[in-house]
Amino acid sequence: MPDSVRNKERSRERFLQAVGEILTTKGFAALKINAIAEVAGLDKKLIYKYFGGLDQLLDEYLRTKDFWSSVKEELIPQTVTDGGKAFSEAMLLQQYEQMNSNPELQKIILWRLSEQRKSLTTLLDNQERTGELLFRNMTDPHFGESAGRYRAVAAVLVAGIYYLNLHTAMNTGTFCGIDISSEEGRRQIQEAISFLNRQAFEQIH
């Protein structure tokens, strides 16, 4: 690989890391071109050269951190015999773990709830496309006319995963008397996610 390509990739990575550092330490309001360049230790002109501008840099950063944006079509099993029950459960549990262990992702969700911005709208659109792909190719055929009922259950589960992790990160670890910041509490939440998803597959007809 030529040095120029390596240098470009290193610079791009430094800019992406700078976005994460600013987001977690100073908040989304501090994500400005000059601040990002200063933290990265690079000329701000390189942001335009390598990404096209601030919005495009933020788009790429958000894609690298968002769980659902990483779920690609090729990851969906070619043969599904359970209507997607095992795969959807695995995805929900992975989302819970990633949200729990990734402060940057927690900040992104708070950012999305607090501000309307093109980059955040793009992220939400990408998430919806991923969700539609999973529903259309896996669970909708299984549930048929009741597919909307499962989608509603999935919406509650995904939203609950977001909120519980944000609650723990921003306030206290206790919710409904469960210390969800503890290993035992997290295990209980994981079991509840699995239980609710399985019940949906067993009860929705």
pLDDT of the residue at 35: 97
Q: How crowded is the C-beta side of 94, counted as CA atoms within 13 Å?
A: 12
Answer left, alpha or beta for residue 27, where phi above 0 means left and psi between -120 and 50 means alpha: left
pTM for this structure?
0.80
- Report percent pLDDT > 90 for the chain: 59
Of the listed ranges 1-15, 61-75, 124-138, 183-197, the one predicted with least confidence: 61-75
When pLDDT is averaged across residues 141-157 and rounded to a whole number, the result is 97
179-187 contacts at long range (C-beta below 8 A, 24 or more positions apart): 186/96, 186/100
* Close Cβ partners of 140 (under 8 Å, ≥ 6 residues apart): 147
Reported as a single tens digit per residue, the pLDDT across 82-108 is 999 999 999 999 999 988 988 888 888
Task: Write down the residue that tokens 């949200």 correspond to.
Answer: 99
Torsion of CA 198, 70, 111, 109, to 10 degrees: 20
* Helical pair 103-114 and 3-25, crossing angle rounded to 10 deg: 70
Reported as a single tens digit per residue, the pLDDT across 1-11 is 555 567 889 99
Token pair, residue 76, equals: 């969906």
Angstrom distance (rounded) from CA 157 to CA 92 = 8
Token pair, residue 190, equals: 């994981």
Reported as a single tens digit per residue, the pLDDT across 44-54 is 999 999 999 99
